[in-house]
């Protein structure tokens, strides 16, 4: 057995190189990590989109699971993978799909016009659900909404410590940056997509359909592979996206 001394100058250089490499990989996040995570999402969306299009041509209907009328748009029509597999249009469910142990729920948007496949990020949805549950308990116990700093008219930061929630970073599937979560005067919790919408508007440039009254969230589903789950309606005011109550 060859013994290697860690005090040897060359070994110290090697160790420093390894450590620097690890640190450098950390510095690449979130941009580079987001690119890596987007690869299976893109492949999955393309695969399911093709299968859904073919199913609609053959069956004259869409392979979607029924949803309640009050289900939010960006959580509503889930892809029926069983129907696609039974029709032999899809041999396997995407690896990142919830049905295959992943963290994505495949949805059908624009079901009445040109069906579009996008993904709901379960990490985001679960974080909002957890904060909602704890906020509701806090309100029932104290009679108050756990509101912190005012972020926008009618929307506030959440007093995470007061409600007993752990501080957990959940990254946006669009930018890879940590989400800000907010609460309204009624106690409803949301993920804040302002930064993502600002980036999407900048990419769209003069072609962006920005309105002071109409919802601008479709910018995200037009440019990205995910839906803005657990979001408020957003409009464009004073050169910036602003959440509004519906």
DSSP 52-95: HHHHHHHHSS--B----TTS-GGGS-BB-HHHHHHTTS-SS--T
* Residue 15 domain flag: no
Residues in the chain with pLDDT < 70? 1-37, 207
Q: Please name every residue paired with 236 in a beta bridge, in sequence order, or none if there are none.
A: 241
Q: Which pLDDT value is given to residue 154?
A: 97
Q: What pLDDT score does 18 carry?
A: 36
Does residue 99 lie in a domain region?
yes
Q: What is the pLDDT of residue 179?
A: 97
115 and 149 fall within a common domain: no
In a domain, 18, yes or no: no
Whether residue 196 sits in one domain with residue 178: yes
Give the burial string for 22-50 (b: 16+ CB within 10 Å, else e): eeeeeeeeeeeebeeebeebeebbebbbe
Domain boundaries, position 169: 123-244
Domain count of the fold of the chain = 2
The predicted structure's pLDDT at residue 33:
42
Same domain, 175 and 112: no
- Asked whether residue 105 falls in the same domain as residue 132, the answer is no
Task: Give the end of a domain, one of 105, 120, 135.
Answer: 120
| Distance of alpha carbon 182 from alpha carbon 152, whole angstroms | 10
Query: Distance (Å, rounded) from C-alpha 74 to C-alpha 244?
Result: 17
Domain boundary among 74, 102, 120: 120
Considering the domain boundaries, does residue 27 fall inside one?
Answer: no
The pLDDT assigned to 40 comes to: 86
Last residue of a domain, which of 120, 141, 156? Answer: 120
Residue among 199, 213, 159 nearest 182 (CA): 159
- The reply to whether 150 and 235 lie within a common domain is yes
What is the per-residue pLDDT for 209? 76
Reported as a single tens digit per residue, the pLDDT across 204-243 is 987 677 989 999 999 999 999 999 999 999 999 999 999 9
The SS3 assignment for 237 reads: strand
pLDDT on residue 37: 58
Task: Name the region of 43 (left: φ>0; alpha: ψ -120 to 50; beta: rest).
Answer: alpha
H-run or E-run covering 174: none
């Amino acid at each position: 057995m060859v013994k290697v001394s860690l005090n040897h100058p060359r070994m110290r250089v090697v160790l420093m190189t390894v450590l620097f490499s690890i640190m450098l990989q950390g510095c690449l996040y979130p941009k580079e990590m987001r690119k890596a995570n987007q690869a299976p999402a893109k492949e999955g969306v393309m695969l399911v989109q093709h299968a859904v299009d073919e199913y609609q041509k053959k069956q004259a209907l869409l392979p979607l699971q029924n949803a309640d009328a009050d289900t939010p748009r960006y959580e509503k029509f889930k892809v029926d993978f069983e129907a696609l597999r039974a029709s032999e249009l899809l041999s396997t469910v995407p690896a990142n799909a919830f049905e295959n142990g992943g963290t994505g729920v495949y949805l059908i948007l624009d079901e009445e016009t040109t069906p579009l496949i996008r993904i709901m990020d379960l990490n985001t949805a679960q974080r909002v659900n957890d904060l909602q549950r704890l906020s509701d308990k806090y309100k029932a116990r104290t009679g108050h909404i756990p509101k912190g700093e005012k972020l926008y008219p009618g929307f506030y930061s959440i007093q995470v410590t007061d409600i007993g929630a752990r501080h957990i970073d959940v990254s946006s599937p669009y930018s890879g940056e940590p989400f800000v979560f907010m609460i309204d005067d009624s106690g409803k919790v949301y993920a804040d997509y302002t930064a993502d919408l600002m980036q999407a508007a900048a990419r769209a440039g003069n072609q962006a359909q920005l309105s002071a009254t109409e919802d601008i969230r479709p910018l995200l589903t037009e440019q990205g592979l995910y839906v803005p789950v657990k979001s408020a309606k957003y409009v464009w005011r004073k050169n910036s996206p602003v959440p509004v109550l519906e």
